[in-house]
C-alpha cells in the first residue's frame, strides 16, 4: 500500500476508477470487506500503509477493472507519494 494508505486523496481516485466499471468490486482488509464504489465504506476499512488488501471483481468487465485498479494501487498512487 502506498505511504499514506487509502485515506481521502487516494481513496477518491480508487473509488472514482472503480465506479467506471459495471462489475461488482469489493475491497477487503483482514476479515472486513467493502463496496469499492462507496467511499464511506472504503475509508472505514482504515487501510494504512503496509496493509495487505484483496480485490474481488465480478462482472462483464472484470479483467479490465482488475488490471486498471491494480495499476492504480501499485504504480500510480505510490509514484504520487514521492512527489
Partner 1 sequence: MSVLKTYRGVPASEGIGIGSIRVYGYIDILSTIPSDCKAKDKSLEEAKLSRALSKYKDYLASLKRVLPPTDWELLDAYELMADALVNEAVEEVRSRGVCSELAIKAVYEKYSKMFRESGSELIALRESDLKSIASSLVELVSGERAQGATLIPGSVLVADELYPIDALKLARQGINGLVTRRGGVTSHVAVIARNNDIPYLIVPSINLDEILELEGKQAIVDSIEGKLIVNPSNDLIEAYSARLKCYKRLKEKAKRYAFLRATTIDHYSVDVLCNVGNVEEARIASTSGCDGIGLFRVEFLYMGNKPPSSDTLLNVFHRLAELFKDKPVTIRAPDLGADKPVPYIKLEEQNPFLGLRGVRLLLEYRDEILKPFLEAYLSVASRVNNLRLMLPMVSRVREVYEVAEIIERIGERLGVKDPSQRVSLGIMVETPAASMMLDKLAETSYVEFVSIGTNDLTQYVLAVDRTNARLSKFYSEFDPSVLRTIKITVDQAKRYGVEVEVCGEMASKQYAVPILVGLGVDGLSVNPPVVGLIKYTISKLEAKELKNRLVTRLLNLSESEEVLSEVKKYMSEKEIETI
Residue 5 CB, nearest distance to partner 1 (Å)?
A: 6
Catalytic residue check, 7: yes
The one among 2, 5, 21, 65 contacting partner 1 by CB under 8 A: 5
In SS3 terms, 60-74 reads as: CCHHHHHHHHHHHHH
Say which of 3, 6, 7, 14 is annotated catalytic: 7
Residue 18: partners with Cβ closer than 8 Å, 6 or more residues away: 25, 36, 37, 65, 69
Binding residues among 7-66 for partner 1 as defined by CB under 8 A: 7-9, 11-13, 15-16, 38-41, 43-48
- The residues that touch partner 1, with contacts defined as CB under 8 A, are 4-5, 7-9, 11-13, 15-16, 38-41, 43-48, 83
Amino acid at each position: 500500500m502506498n505511504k499514506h494508505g487509502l485515506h481521502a486523496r487516494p481513496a477518491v481516485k480508487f473509488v472514482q476508477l472503480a465506479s467506471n466499471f459495471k462489475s461488482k468490486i469489493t475491497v477487503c482488509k483482514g476479515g472486513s470487506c467493502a463496496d469499492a464504489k462507496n467511499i464511506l465504506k472504503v475509508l472505514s476499512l482504515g487501510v494504512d500503509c503496509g496493509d495487505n488488501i484483496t480485490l474481488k471483481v465480478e462482472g462483464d468487465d472484470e479483467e479490465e477493472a482488475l488490471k486498471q485498479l491494480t495499476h492504480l494501487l501499485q504504480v500510480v498512487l505510490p509514484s504520487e507519494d514521492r512527489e
